Amino acid sequence: MKRTIERVFQGAPDHWVGDGFHVSNYFPAATDFEKRMSPFFLLDYQRPEKYEPTTLKRGVGTHPHRGFETVTIAYQGSVAHHDSAGNGGVINPGEVQWMTAGGGILHNEYHEEKFAKAGGILHMIQIWVNLPKKDKLAAPKYQALTDASIKEAKLAGGKGVVRVISGAYEETEGPASTFTPAHMLDLRLKPGAKARLPTPKDYNTALLVLQGKVSANGSPAVSEGEFVLFKNDGDEVVVDALSEAIVMFLSGAPIEEPLVHYGPFVMNSVDEINQAVEDYNNGKFGYLKD
Ligand code: MN
């Protein structure tokens, strides 16, 4: 049965993360439904925007995270990343970086040097995925998901593809390993494409239109920048492309645990937040120079 739509909305007015990411927040700050999107905790969207050439480092300097994972998906432009676990790399268009902060990590995120020097369009999303209590302090981990490692399922009539980042779509499985079930699908659609996306009824499920126009479960047109939250009342979402379109589809098993958020930390209690601040101040997240 098709899910009904709970809400369609635009993100909050754009704000700067450092000086390199001009993003619109969709949740949790813009709305009061962090529980409605669990296990996904946050979504910041950098709509396509031209950055002028610069020789400066543009982005966000070294900062900590604990208790969750950050997933960075590049559509246009390139982002360089380094962390205190010794990992680093460049996220190019079509690629995804899935970083498990777990018990604590420091990292920085900058426009990749050549991209910054040349200037150009940056188009990307960052999603935070919460960790269950038992894995909050897991060892930090880094998954660089290359374009080639993200398998594509072809839609009927050659009208586009479903790129599976995590979880599965039909027989196609995503390369990302996750701590709880979380389907993250990158839909690249041609006009007239139809994608039938099964979703267990209890999974929190939504989509964000990044380009073009689609109809979701028979809705009126939903356009670029609009976010569609579905009720947990059915087991299918059908996306019909009304133009060439790019859509991010999220569906995951909710983590039914208390949640306390403070800046870059997402934990289960105030005590654990205080501990995170203390550990950070005492240098227990390691060392990383900008
Ligand atoms: Mn970060």
| CA of 38 relative to ligand 1 center, distance in Å | 19
| CA of 218 relative to ligand 1 center, distance in Å | 37
Residue count of the chain: 290
d(Cα 125, Cα 137) in Å, to the nearest integer? 25
Mean predicted lDDT score pLDDT of the chain: 96
Q: Mean pLDDT over residues 48-73, rounded?
A: 97
Each residue of 190-230: pLDDT tens digit? 999 999 999 999 999 999 999 999 999 999 999 999 999 99
| CA of 265 relative to ligand 1 center, distance in Å | 10
Going by pLDDT thresholds of 50, 70 and 90, the confidence category of residue 30 is: confident
d(Cα 222, Cα 224) in Å, to the nearest integer? 7
C-beta of residue 39 within 8 angstroms of C-beta of residue 261: no
C-beta of residue 247 within 8 angstroms of C-beta of residue 207: yes
Going by pLDDT thresholds of 50, 70 and 90, the confidence category of residue 65 is: very high
Report pTM. 0.97
Going by C-alpha positions, the residue among 27, 10, 7, 2 that lies closest to residue 223 is: 10
| CA of 16 relative to ligand 1 center, distance in Å | 13
d(Cα 273, Cα 262) in Å, to the nearest integer? 7
| CA of 42 relative to ligand 1 center, distance in Å | 12
Going by pLDDT thresholds of 50, 70 and 90, the confidence category of residue 289 is: confident
| CA of 101 relative to ligand 1 center, distance in Å | 9
Q: Evaluate if residue 290 carries a pLDDT over 90.
A: no
| CA of 64 relative to ligand 1 center, distance in Å | 7
- The alpha carbon of residue 118 and the mean position of all alpha carbons in its chain are separated, in whole angstroms, by 26
Going by pLDDT thresholds of 50, 70 and 90, the confidence category of residue 31 is: confident
| CA of 99 relative to ligand 1 center, distance in Å | 9
| CA of 223 relative to ligand 1 center, distance in Å | 28
d(Cα 146, Cα 9) in Å, to the nearest integer? 31
Q: Evaluate if residue 90 carries a pLDDT over 90.
A: yes
| CA of 108 relative to ligand 1 center, distance in Å | 6
Going by pLDDT thresholds of 50, 70 and 90, the confidence category of residue 166 is: very high
| CA of 273 relative to ligand 1 center, distance in Å | 17
Partners of 214 in the β-ladder: 222, 241
CA angle, 210 as apex, 197 and 101 as ends, to 5°?
Answer: 80
Question: DSSP letters of 164-187?
Answer: EEESEETTEE-S---SS-EEEEEE
| CA of 115 relative to ligand 1 center, distance in Å | 20
Going by C-alpha positions, the residue among 173, 171, 151 that lies closest to residue 163 is: 151
Each residue of 222-272: pLDDT tens digit? 999 999 999 999 999 999 999 999 999 999 999 999 999 999 999 999 999
d(Cα 193, Cα 242) in Å, to the nearest integer? 8
Q: Mean pLDDT over residues 30-43, rounded?
A: 88
Q: What is the pLDDT of residue 34?
A: 75
Q: Mean pLDDT over residues 88-108, rounded?
A: 96
| CA of 145 relative to ligand 1 center, distance in Å | 18
Going by pLDDT thresholds of 50, 70 and 90, the confidence category of residue 32 is: confident
H or E stretch at 260: strand 260-262
| CA of 165 relative to ligand 1 center, distance in Å | 20
Q: What is the pLDDT of residue 249?
A: 98
Q: Phi/psi zone of residue 188: left (φ > 0), alpha (ψ -120 to 50 degrees), beta?
A: beta
| CA of 290 relative to ligand 1 center, distance in Å | 13
